C-alpha cells in the first residue's frame, strides 16, 4: 500500500518561532490532510487540500498540496504554547475513497 | 457539530477477557465508521471499516475473529477485543464519516480509548 514519509520526527523550538514540516509519498494522493493530536486525544483536522498546487491557510497555519501530488508541507507561524502536540499528515489512498493513510507524525515541543 | 464520542476512555483488563469499546456519532448519522489502533509514539493504523447493517471490512493482517465489529445503527459502532492479551494494549481510535462519498475530510475522530491488558 501507499506510505507517507513525514519529517522531521520531532522539533524543539522557542515560542514565537515559525515551524515547517513536510510529507512525501512515492505515489500520488488525491487528497492531503493535516491533523493535530494532543496527548490522549484523537486527531483533529487542521487543513484539507484537494488540488495540486493548492495553498490553504487556517489562521497561523498554511499548507500546500505539491504540484506532483506526492508531497505537502505545513507551516506554523509565530508558534505559541498551545501548538505543542503531534502533527500528522495524511492522504486519501488512490481507489479507496474513505481510507486515510497517516504519516508517522511530527512531535512539536516548545522550549520555555 | 460533528462530535464523536468513545466509551470507555480507558480500560484495564486481565489477559484472556474481552473488552467492548463503543463509538458514537452524537449529532450526525454515520453509515461508515472506522477503527484505528495507535501504539505509543506511532502513527494511526486503520484496522477496519464498519458499515451500518453489513459486515466490517478488515485491513490486511487484522484478525476479524479477534476484533469483532458491530455497526448496528447509524450512530453506534462497537469494537470488541476478544481474549485480550498484553500485546493488544494500545490506543484505539474510531472515526465516523458524515454523509456518503465525498472527501475523507468528513471523517471525524473520537477521543480514543486506551486499553491496558495485564
Q: What is the pLDDT along chain A (112 residues), one digit of tens a residue?
A: 667 899 999 999 999 999 999 999 988 888 899 999 999 999 999 999 999 999 999 999 999 999 999 999 999 999 999 999 999 999 987 777 678 899 999 999 999 8
Containing A61, the helix (H) or strand (E) segment is strand A61-65
The pLDDT score that the predictor gives to residue A2 is 67
Please write the tens of the pLDDT for every residue from B23-80: 999 999 998 999 999 998 899 999 999 988 888 999 999 999 999 999 989 999 999 9
| Section B82-107 average pLDDT | 88
Query: Hunting for cell 471523517 — which residue is that?
Result: B107
Measured between beta carbons, the chain A residues lying within 8 angstroms of B101 are 97
A-chain residues near B23 (CB < 8 A): none
Chain B residues with CB-CB distance to A58 below 8 A: none
Q: What is the mean pLDDT of residues B8-32?
A: 95
| Helix, strand, coil percent values for chain B (each to nearest 5) | 5, 50, 45
Q: Does B103 touch chain A (CB under 8 A)?
A: yes
Q: What is the pLDDT of residue B54?
A: 86
Task: Locate the chain A residue with the closest alpha carbon to B102.
Answer: A97
Contacts of B92 (CB under 8 A, 6+ apart): B6, B21, B35, B36, B37, B38, B79, B112, B113, B114, B115
Residues B24, B75: Cα–Cα separation, whole Å: 5
Amino acid at each position: 500500500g501507499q506510505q507517507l514519509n513525514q519529517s522531521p520526527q520531532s522539533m524543539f523550538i522557542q515560542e514565537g518561532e515559525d515551524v515547517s514540516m513536510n510529507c512525501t509519498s512515492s505515489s500520488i494522493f488525491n487528497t492531503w490532510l493535516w491533523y493535530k493530536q494532543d496527548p490522549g486525544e484523537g486527531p483533529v483536522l487542521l487543513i484539507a487540500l484537494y488540488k495540486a498546487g493548492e495553498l490553504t491557510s487556517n489562521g497561523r497555519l498554511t499548507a500546500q498540496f505539491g504540484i506532483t501530488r506526492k508531497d505537502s508541507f505545513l507551516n506554523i507561524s509565530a508558534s505559541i504554547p498551545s501548538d505543542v502536540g503531534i502533527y500528522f499528515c495524511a492522504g486519501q489512498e488512490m481507489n479507496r475513497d474513505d481510507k486515510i493513510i497517516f504519516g508517522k507524525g511530527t512531535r512539536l515541543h516548545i522550549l520555555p | 457539530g460533528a462530535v464523536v464520542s468513545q466509551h470507555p476512555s480507558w480500560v484495564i483488563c486481565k489477559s484472556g477477557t474481552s473488552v467492548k469499546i463503543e463509538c458514537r456519532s452524537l449529532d450526525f448519522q454515520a453509515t461508515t465508521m472506522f477503527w484505528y489502533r495507535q501504539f505509543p509514539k506511532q502513527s494511526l493504523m486503520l484496522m477496519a471499516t464498519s458499515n451500518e447493517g453489513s459486515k466490517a471490512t478488515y485491513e490486511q493482517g487484522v484478525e476479524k475473529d479477534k476484533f469483532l465489529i458491530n455497526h448496528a445503527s447509524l450512530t453506534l459502532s462497537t469494537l470488541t477485543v476478544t481474549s485480550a492479551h498484553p500485546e493488544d494494549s494500545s490506543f484505539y481510535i474510531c472515526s465516523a464519516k458524515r454523509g456518503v462519498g465525498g472527501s475523507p475530510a468528513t471523517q471525524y475522530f473520537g477521543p480514543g480509548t486506551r486499553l491496558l491488558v495485564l
